[in-house]
Amino acid sequence: MLRRITALLALVIVVSVLVNSPELIQAQGGQERGQKLYMQYCASCHGVDGKGGGVVAPEMKTMPTDLTRIPKVDGKFPALKVHQIISGEVGYRAHGAAEMPVWGQVFRRQTGDRARTQLDIHAIANYIESIQVR
Ligand code: HEC
């Protein structure tokens, strides 16, 4: 229990540091990586342009969300929320989103690396922020 809380806390700190330092991500080629990962893992449902018209979208009960129009929170892109939706930390299932895969586990299994996973998810969230229609 304590270990879980500690791990969670560490994660929150890592995420908030990353969210607040776009230069850091930029320096690591985050933008390009985010786009690549997006095309690889998300475009099939959310569309290459992010507007929700991916190739498998017609097969789905719930239409994938238009990711270029994520509602702002306090006038800002809700980076942390998007991060949590991707990694499955928020109870998105309760909102009827069982069809939205939980990527945190997928990425982690692939890389076996928690920090790497967080960076990848962050890169994707960053990419999604960059495609918002203003
Ligand atoms: C198998 C299809 C599928 C794939 C692949 C997929 N999604 Fe989704 N996603 C959905 C569906 C369907 C919803 C809407 C669920 C709902 O509204 O209940 C959704 C919702 C979302 C939302 C919530 C938007 C909001 O404002 O509520 C985000 C953010 C999101 N997806 C990001 C991603 C990202 C990033 C990836 C790639 C890592 C991805 N999705 C891959 C199907 C998919």
More confident residue, 96 or 110: 110
User: What domains appear along the chain, each with residue ranges and CATH number?
Assistant: 2-130 (1.10.760)
Number of H helices, E strands in the chain: 7, 0
Q: Which residues line ligand 1 (CB under 6 A)?
A: 41-42, 44-46, 60, 62, 64-65, 67, 70, 82, 85-86, 95-97, 99-101, 103, 124
- Over residues 68-99, the pLDDT tens digits come to 999 999 999 999 989 888 887 765 554 445 56
pLDDT band at 127 (very low <50, low <70, confident <90, very high): very high
Q: What is the pLDDT of residue 99?
A: 67
Distances (CA, A) of 92 to 39, 69, 95, 129: 22, 18, 5, 20
79, 129 contact by CB (below 8 A): yes
Q: What is the pLDDT of residue 96?
A: 46
- Over residues 14-69, the pLDDT tens digits come to 555 555 454 454 545 567 899 999 999 899 889 999 999 998 888 877 788 899 99
How many angstroms separate the CA atoms of 104 and 92, rounded? 13
Q: What is the pLDDT of residue 68?
A: 97
Ligand 1 atom closest to Cα of 63? Answer: 12
Q: Give strand pairing partners of 73.
A: 76
| Global pTM value | 0.77
Residue type at position 66: D
Choice from 36, 46, 106, 107 to test ligand 1 binding pocket (greatest atom count within 8 A of CB): 46
More confident residue, 79 or 5: 79
